[in-house]
A and B are shown apart, each in its own frame.
Chain A
Amino acid sequence: MSDSRHLLTIADLGRSDVERILETARALDGVTDENRAARLPTLAGRLVITLFYESSTRTSSSFELAARRLSAETMSIRSAGSSVDKGESLKDTVLTLAAYEPAVIVVRHPQVGAAQLVAAHCRATVVNAGDGSHQHPTQALLDLYTMQTALGRLEGLHVAIVGDTLHSRVARSLLQALALVGARVTLVGPPALVPRGLDGPCCERSTDISAIESADVVYVLRMQRERMLAGANYVPSLREYTARWGVTPERLRPGQKVMHPGPMNRGIELDSRVADSADSLVVEQVRSGLVVRMAVLHDLLGQGVPACEIAGVA
């Protein structure tokens, strides 16, 4: 990775870094397709720790599997049931885990800046698996990979991101990543949930759901129900949200691809008929998650050995 040994935000990457990671993922995809039991030696004898302060299914499982497929030892720490319950600070937890000399710490935390703090207190390579509403860079990379696979290109694509951008680390990372590869974005949603600071040369903002019409990909964000409590007034109600911004078959053109980072609220932001349709890439996203996270770990720690060579060895 260009000049950073960590992956904390998409801003750590340049366009060539993104393209290299996607190519590596493509090469790894070939290998795992042919031989699911294949283990690449990139991380043999090294330790990858996943440290999660928030619940996760997709991200934690795919990082662990990715690390194992690269021959790493893995260790998984959850805040519940650990010393965090006894009031241990993030810094002390990291210092403790650092004593095992991990090659990588993958961290998810509810507060912005957590990944930066971890990176400041250990020698391991740190991969940000989500810090508050800030960044989730590997999600953005796997989304690019999924789009590239389904549509054959990234440059010039038009992606509509629909829903609660304000609280979404996924949207923030994806927006930056799409800008890097020359795609165009329209943010669509209720005024209070689409911050006005995010528009720019390749990013428009609309409060009208019909703005998704011209998009190649409709990327639907999860309505974070825990943030939509009565009195917050981001929207008057979930019912009203669904009526005005829910993604339904009627609001889509045939052939428009639909994506969602999960977990979905079926019937709220996304109609079940859309989620289960042939144009839905949701399951593809999960599959991409594994190879892209392998590619990221390989890219950070593979010491410049091209993945295709390693794939050849395997």
Chain B
Amino acid sequence: MLVCRNGSADSLTLEGRLVGGRCVTVTVNEGVITEIEPKGSSEALLSPAFVDPHVHLRTPGREDEETVASGTAAAAAGGYCAILAMPNTDPVVDSACVLRSLQETARRDAVVPVGFMASISKGLAGAELTEMGELGDAGAVAFTDDGRPIVSAALLRRALQYAGAGGRPLALHCEEPTLSQAGHMHDGRLSAELGIGGWPSIAESVMVERDLALAAYERQPLHLMHLSARESVGALERAQAAGVAATAEVTPHHLVLTDEAVRALDPNTKMNPPLGTAGDREALVAALRNGTITCVATDHAPHSREEKDVPFEAAPFGVTGLETAFAVLHTHLVEPGLLRLETLLERMSAGPAQAFGLPEPRLEVGARANLVLLDLEAEWTVTEEGFRSRSANSWLLGQRLRGRVLKTVADGRIVHG
């Protein structure tokens, strides 16, 4: 269930070029696309708006870092018409009453529709299942212990069985903690050189292998979050070929950066899972291209200035991403020819919607208007002042990007531009 602030839908017309090159005028009446007419020419690109399956809204508990209002405003500015919020808040979203209170906040404050995920285990403690039936009835979109792995294989097996009965997907953060412990960056040449505790890529891939084996055994679907390692992509390919209904997501930073970005010890390059090698990055881009991975997820993880203004090793993991995702991937993947624009737009919209069973944003008559208008030529510099998010822990500060969101229509309403 997606929740948005109450209000009436807009009527508007939008002119733009479709990804195939055709220029159109789209008429939206009370939130629904009623007409798509050919038009002479237009510079801006018009496309179904984006869906982000992985956002930390930090509410409840850390409203100084992000709120439902600020996080969804950031999403609107990034071209998103729907986002999914992670349950690792304080308190954790592990009961229907916490979930309902968040939905109530969203009905008041959410600029774009939000789906809330609930945790798999009570308190993210990895011991007891949450009441997934009641949570599902109350509108939990999916279940995840994001930020923490499900260490117990038996608990994950039970969760797969139980979630299957309720028809809501499980989204997993794959990390073998005895291998990643004390790790602050990818375990490799650079961690050896810098003397920073290494987090080996197998900490992810052995857990991916285990989780996929359990999903295969239970014949249940599974969504793998923020994949970072070549070995994980290989495991996913093999499982998909064997018929496992597994989907996966990848973040802009894992698609663009490698562990070399850590060299300057900027805490805004500290991510979980950590940035990998050039080989990892190539495997992730290839998987996004060929459809092994169908979702781009920002893993938007706001942190306060105090938390990040510390030595690299003391800093928490995570970076913001909602407001830069399209531009950074357009600049670093599409423009250099590593990914077709059409594929990027698909992986930022229909891919995540399908993986989580959400309504797919479509540019067709009769569909609810979920549209984004993009200027692919516009160059801009990422600055702290430009963010709608309450936090500014972006690895892109000061960088020039090409491609800008001009207007976002979410659930029939103009939410940006």
Please report A residues at the B interface, Cβ cutoff 8 Å: 89-91, 109, 111-114, 116-117, 131-135, 167-169, 172, 195-198
Give Cα A307–Cα B43 distance, bound, in whole angstroms: 65
- B311/A117 in contact, CB under 8 A: yes
CB of B30 within 8 A of chain A? no
Contact B310 A132 (CB under 8 A): no
Q: List residues of B (181-217) whose CB comes within 8 Å of A's CBs.
A: 184, 188-196, 198
Q: Which of B264, B267, B310, B312 contacts A89 (CB 8 A)?
A: B310
- Given A89-B306, A113-B265, A116-B265, A195 and B192 contact (CB-CB distance below 8 Å): yes
Chain A residues near B311 (CB, 8 Å)?
90, 109, 111-114, 116-117, 131-132
* B residues in contact with A132, CB < 8 Å: 195-196, 311, 313
Bound: A131/B264 CA distance, A: 14
Q: Quick one: given A112-B195, A133-B195, A133-B196, are A197 and B189 in contact (CB under 8 Å)?
A: yes
Taking the complex as formed, is B153 at the interface, i.e. its CB lies under 8 A from any CB of chain A? no
Question: When chains A and B are docked, how far (Å) is the Cα of A161 from the Cα of B353?
Answer: 55
Chain A: minimal CB distance from B92 (Å): 26
Residues of A within 8 A of B192 (CB): 195-198
Scan B250-265; emit 1 where CB is below 8 A from any A CB, else 0.
Answer: 0000000000000011
In the assembled complex, the Cα of A198 lies from the Cα of B188 at a distance in Å of 9
Within 8 A of A (CB), among B260-294: 264-265, 267
**Residues of chain B whose beta carbon lies under 8 Å from any beta carbon of chain A:** 184, 188-196, 198, 264-265, 267, 306, 309-314
A195-B198, A196-B192, A197-B192 are known; give 20 further A-B pairs, CB within 8 A: A90-B311, A91-B309, A111-B310, A111-B312, A112-B184, A112-B194, A112-B195, A112-B312, A113-B312, A113-B314, A114-B311, A131-B311, A132-B311, A134-B195, A134-B196, A167-B195, A195-B192, A197-B188, A197-B189, A197-B193
* List of B residues within 8 angstroms of A112 by Cβ: 184, 194-196, 265, 311-313
**Counting chain B CB atoms within 10 Å of each CB, which of A133, A169, A198 scores highest?**
A133
B265: chain A residues at CB < 8 Å are 112-113, 116
With the chains together, A168 CA to B193 CA distance in Å? 11
> Bound state CA distance, A167 and B309, in angstroms?
24
Nearest residue, chain A, Cβ from B194: A134
Instruction: Tell me, rounded to whole Å, the shortest Cβ–Cβ distance linking B157 to chain A.
Output: 28
Contacts of A134 in B (CB 8 A): 194-196
Write the nearest CB–CB distance from A129 to chain B, whole angstroms: 14
| Complex contacts, B189 vs chain A, CB 8 Å | 197-198
Task: Give CA–CA (A183, B306) in the complex, Å.
Answer: 43
Q: Most chain-A CB neighbours within 10 Å: which of B190, B196, B306, B312? A: B312
Task: Name the residue on A nearest B306 (C-beta).
Answer: A89
CA distance A195 to B312 in the complex (A): 20
| A131 neighbours in B (Cβ, 8 Å) | 311
Inside 8 A of B310's CB, which chain A residues have their CB? 89-91, 111, 117
Least CB separation from B190: chain A residue? A197
Taking CB atoms, residues of chain B closer than 8 Å to A111 are: 310-314
Shortest CB distance B180–A (Å): 15
A-side contacts of B313, CB under 8 Å: 111-113, 132
Q: Are A169 and B191 in contact (CB under 8 A)?
A: no
24 of the cross-chain contacts (CB-CB < 8 Å) are: A89-B310, A109-B311, A111-B311, A112-B195, A112-B311, A112-B312, A113-B311, A114-B311, A116-B311, A116-B312, A117-B309, A117-B310, A117-B311, A131-B311, A133-B195, A134-B194, A168-B195, A172-B193, A172-B195, A195-B192, A196-B192, A197-B191, A197-B192, A198-B189
Say how far B395's CB is from chain A's closest CB, in angstroms.
Answer: 15
A134 to B190 Cα, complex, angstroms:
11
Report the Cα distance A131→B313, complex, angstroms. Answer: 10
Bound Cα distance A169, B192 (Å): 11
A residues near B312, Cβ cutoff 8 Å: 111-113, 116
**A196 to chain B: which residues have CB within 8 Å?**
192
Output the least CB separation between A12 and chain B (Å): 13
CA–CA, A109 and B309, complex, Å: 15
Q: A114 — which chain B residues lie within 8 A by C-beta?
A: 311
A109 CA / B310 CA spacing, docked (Å): 12
Interchain CA distance A203-B311 in the complex, whole Å = 29
Q: How far is the CA of A204 from the CA of B187 in the complex (A)?
A: 19
Q: Complex: how many Å from CA A132 to CA B191?
A: 13
Q: Roughly how many angstroms separate A54 CA and B338 CA in the complex, as a whole number?
A: 47
